[in-house]
Amino acid sequence: AAAMAGAALSRVPDVQIDGDGVFKYVLVRVRGAGAPAKDVVRGHGWAEYHADLFERTAEELARHGLSCECLGGGRLSHRPEERKIHVYGYSVGFGRADHAVTTEKLKAEYPDYEITWADEGY
């Protein structure tokens, strides 16, 4: 079961965010049975609330036998024409995500971007 969970976990993208704009994001810890956990970033403009992002993510993961918990949220400002992403703010429902962790995930996904974060702002 652990090997299957590990394989399912490895197929979960670390980062899924919209290509442009300012939108909410959540930092989610994903777990499979007996497999180590990993943190993933999800951010989309369609989400009115951070909970919308988390619930959609949880549903997708559950189909693969994975569970998850929300570690917090914030906002992303993604400006592809400038190759910049800024991470800031917080989620009222889930609290502030660890933006430093989010930034590292984004840097791995967007190595040629300038990625910054701040605890200020909403």
Give catalytic residue positions: 50
User: How far is 45 from 35, CA to CA, in rounded Å?
Assistant: 31
| Contact predicate 103/17, CB 8 Å | no
Dihedral (CA of 100, 106, 111, 116) sign: negative
Tally Cβ neighbours within 10 Å of residue 100: 10
Q: Is 107 labelled as part of a ligand binding site? A: no
Report the binding-site residues for substrate.
24
Report the binding-site residues.
24
